[in-house]
Amino acid sequence: MTDVPIKIENIVSSASIGKEIELNEVSKALEDVRFNKEQFPGLVFKLKDPKTAALIFSSGKLVCTGAKSIKDSKIAINKTVDLMRTIDKDIPKKFDITIQNIVASANLEATLNLEAVAIELENTEYEPEQFPGLVYRLEDPKVVLLLFGSGKVVCTGAKTKDDAKLGVERAYDRLMQLELL
């Protein structure tokens, strides 16, 4: 398997503190908060470090986006929950954090003729009128890749860093065997 380095660009994770929270109180207690129940049921909270955004729901579940590493994503959630604890002292210290999606970028170091790729490669969608990237859906690992004429690639949908890297490498090898690279 050809080694292709990838860079993690964004991580989405979720967690549940196991008990309900009064969002109106959270919005008063925290800075950088936006909350419009009519618009969206979740409260939006922006954390400086790690630079992330969290969505907090009244059910006690939350979503964290924007982290550049799995560690940062977990740190961000823990910091956010720590702040929530100033409102409710009974929020548990321990809870599960699930990585839901990893977005990574990579460079195949060669230009691609997307018209040819669209015709030869399976499971692709290429509509340059709408978007310059070609969408390539991989079944194993189950990820979606965006291939560009420059050879740059975006991989999304992975749950682990290994799957993101494996997805890019499988795409690279497939393009190689079809002589598209």
Interacting residues with DNA (CB under 7 A)? 9-10, 12, 14, 34, 39-42, 44, 46, 51-53, 55, 57-59, 61, 63, 65-66, 100-101, 103, 105, 130-133, 135, 137, 144, 146, 148-150, 152, 154, 156-157
| Shortest spacing between CB 146 and DNA, in angstroms | 5
Residues 116-135 binding another protein (CB under 8 A) are 118-120, 125-130, 132-133
Using the structure block, give the residue that is written with the tokens 């799957």. Answer: 163
Q: Are 148 and 161 in contact (CB under 8 A)?
A: no
Terminal-to-terminal C-alpha distance of the chain: 15
Residue 109 interacts with another protein (CB under 8 A): yes or no: no
- The span from the CA of 17 to the CA of 161, in Å, is 25
Check the CA dihedral 177-179-138-166 and report its sign: positive
Complex with another protein: residue 38 or 129, whichever CB lies closer: 129
Residue 110 interacts with another protein (CB under 8 A): yes or no: no
Residue 115 interacts with another protein (CB under 8 A): yes or no: yes
DSSP 11-29: EEEEEE-SS---HHHHHHH
